[in-house]
Amino acid sequence: MRSAARPSLAARVQNPDLLDQVDYRLAETPAEKEEIYNLRYRAYLREGAVRPSADQRVVDQFEDAPNAWTFGVYFHGELYSSIRVSVLTSEWRMSPSVELFGDVLHPQLDKGLIFIDSTRFVADPDKARNFPELPYVTVRLGSMAGVYFKADYGLAIVRPEHQAFYRKVFLQETWCEPRLYPGLVKPVGLMAAHLPTVREKVLARYPFLRSSAFERRMLFQRANERRSSSPAVVVSPFDHASIVPQQS
């Protein structure tokens, strides 16, 4: 008797039970951050993106920037992947994309545009082999940030061989050809999508990227801000930069 065919990747990604198994955690403690730095090293080393190092960690000057959120993605209590989401404004310009492609981004930031810069996307090399849905689950964090901060554009710095994924899922276009980022041995290009234009098209194809206002607030509002704000008032971490989170 022929066994039932395994559902396609598209069907598995759309499975509503998938996100019930996901635990998105903002890395706040030294132990949480160190686990992610070690994961980055293992993932980059496996891909040949970094050279071996004695400390076996990948970390940079943007880890504790006030406009950056580093998340771990956990399944059954184990770290599977990680991504860092930075919010770029005319006042806050700290991120790898600005460092590498400042000639392209500074003029746009000068106009008052808001960007979501998703970087340091890595997956556990061993766990990812058996979990093809993992990239979609992880980059969902950048999609949620775009809604929460009412961003104009979503960014990604991507190696040439991975750009097809971002074109397919997020309808991103290439803004700048690959350049070599300090610490990496393979160049990355700059990709971007105008979020108000592509959002509904992307959500129609990938409904699992949708999120509730509550989920977005719990992920992107700092713990001290949740404690200091009333249930009816959500305080943006960038109120002084004229960013107001979207609540619906």
Length of the chain: 248
pLDDT in tens, 2-13: 455 555 555 565
pLDDT tens figures, 117-175: 999 999 998 888 888 888 889 999 999 999 999 999 999 998 898 899 889 889 999 99
For residues 160 and 174, what is the distance between their CA atoms, to the nearest angstrom? 10
24-42: average pLDDT = 95
Q: What are the DSSP E strand ranges found in 7-77?
A: 22-26, 68-75
Domain ranges of the chain: 19-221
Instruction: Write the pLDDT tens digit of every residue in 175-207.
Output: 999 999 888 888 999 999 999 999 999 999 888
Rounded to whole angstroms, the Cα distance separating 183 from 71 reads: 21
Q: Which CATH number fits domain 19-221: 1.10.606.20, 3.40.630.30, 1.20.1070.10, 3.30.465.10?
A: 3.40.630.30
Phi, psi at 188, each rounded to 5°: -130, 145
Q: Residue 239: is its pLDDT beyond 90? A: no
First-to-last alpha carbon distance for the chain, in angstroms, is 50
Residue matched to tokens 């994309």: 97
Question: Whole-structure pTM over 0.85, yes or no?
Answer: no
Average pLDDT over residues 86-90: 97
